[in-house]
Amino acid sequence: MTALEELVPRVDALSAQFAQFQTEVRVEFSAVRSEMRTLGDTLREEMKEQGATLRTEMKEQGATLRTEMKEQGATLRAEMKEQGATLRAEMKEQGEALRSAMTDQREALQAQIEEQGKALQAQIEEQGKTVQAAMREQSQTLRTEMRVLHEDLISRIALLRDGQ
């Protein structure tokens, strides 16, 4: 009877170990999700700030340009008529250069975002594989221990029956 009584605490201890393992796995997955969320929030905030800065700079430059145009008034209009075609061509070239530079910067930023996303995804996958391997290993150990306990229990029950 004492062997059977010893088996109950062992099964309880094994159940407690498994519950603790489940808790640890939940905590780790929660931490990974939290880090991903934080990185995403940070990236979105940086992009938002850069967009706001660019809009502010463009507004300031637009206001400055309008003020200068008002100040120079008639003189500027006369010069603009004379140099209209030249100025339009230069503005077109500068606009194309600016668009090209903005496109290059956007593409570089997209490439960085994709690269960081892939690196983060690879880290997450690696951590997932590590956690899965550990869970499989602990599950196999648990199964083995449970089989041993089960066989021990059966043999003890058989001994008790033979002893009666």
pTM comes to 0.33
* Residue 78 maps to a domain: no
Q: Is the Cβ–Cβ distance between 14 and 142 less than 8 Å?
A: yes
Report the pLDDT value the prediction gives residue 7, as an integer from 0 to 100: 76
> What pLDDT is attached to residue 69?
67
Q: Which segment of 33-42, 80-89, 142-151 scores lowest on mean pLDDT?
A: 80-89
Provide the pLDDT for residue 105: 92
pLDDT tens figures, 41-81: 898 998 899 999 989 988 999 888 788 767 767 675 676 67
Provide the pLDDT for residue 143. Answer: 93
Give the H/E segment covering residue 109: helix 2-163
Q: Does residue 17 form part of some domain?
A: yes
Structure tokens at 158: 């058989």
Domain contains 106: no
Averaged over 12-34, what is the pLDDT? Answer: 86
pLDDT of residue 84: 75
Whether 156 maps to a domain, the answer reads yes
Q: How much is the pLDDT for 145? A: 92
Q: What is the spatial distance between Cα 151 and Cα 42, in angstroms, rounded to a whole number?
A: 55
In this prediction, residue 11 carries a pLDDT of 80
Residue 94 lies in a domain: no
Domain that holds residue 128: 1-68+112-164
Q: What is the mean pLDDT of residues 24-29?
A: 87
What is the pLDDT at residue 30?
Answer: 87
Q: Of 21, 33, 10, give the one whose Cα is nearest residue 131.
A: 21
Is residue 136 scored above 90 in pLDDT? Answer: yes
Q: Tell me if 24 is assigned to some domain.
A: yes
The rounded distance, in Å, linking the Cα atoms of 50 and 93 is 25
SS3 of residue 51 by DSSP: helix
User: In total, how many domains does the chain have?
Assistant: 1
DSSP state of 68: H
Q: Output the pLDDT for position 80.
A: 60
